[in-house]
Structure formats: structure tokens, C-alpha cells
Amino acid sequence: MKKPVFAMLLGGFLGVFDGLSALLSAPQEAPNIVGIVIGSTFKGVIAGAIIGLVAQRTQSLAITVSVGVAVGTLLAYLITIGSPYLWEIVLPGAVVGLIVGFATAKYRGPA
């Protein structure tokens, strides 16, 4: 499996948990949880694609993790425009970017 595909799958998987974290940080948004989880999953897939392409081009762990955090933070920030939940959205997005960046940089694929 290529790095971009791995990163997209991992980003989508972690995006589900990113979305579910809204139940802890903003429990009043529980009626909207399905849309939040779908949006976070899509955001994780997009971030994974970008991180995977960067990881495929470079072998640097630092660059891949930095791009992961930056992309996760940027995509999460774009979602917060007009929302009162800045840190409740940006922090989990940055953590997902960090994890996907690190895991993708370390991923070596099949032998």
C-alpha cells in the first residue's frame, strides 16, 4: 500500500474519533453529531492525502510531522469560521495531523 493511501485511511479512521470528541467538548452539539463525524472523517481523508503525498516525496520525519500538524490545524481552523468552538475543533484536528504525519513517515509498506 502506498503512503498516500495509508495516510488517507488512517486520517479517515482517526477523523471519526476527532468528530466524536465533540460529544466531550461540546455536549450541546449532540443532535448534530452525525454531520460532525462525517465532516471530520472527510477532513481526515483530505489531510491524509496531503500528508501522504508529502511523505512520499521526502524521507524526513520532521517535515512530514510538521506538515501533518499544519494541515490538520489549517483544515480544522477553516471549519471554525463562524463557530464559537475554536479550540474544541482545532486541537483535535492538530492531534490527528500529528498522528497521521508520524505514522505515515514511519510506514514502510510491504517488503
Q: Give tens-digit pLDDT for 58-94.
A: 999 999 999 999 999 999 999 998 888 899 999 999 9
| pLDDT recorded at residue 111 | 66
Q: What pLDDT, in 10s, does the model give residues 26-61?
A: 899 899 999 999 999 999 999 999 999 999 999 999
Of 21, 63, 68, nearest to 41 (Cα)? 21
Task: Give SS3 for 44.
Answer: helix
With the C-alpha atoms ordered 106, 108, 109, 111, is the resulting torsion angle positive or negative?
Answer: negative
Amino acid at 5: V
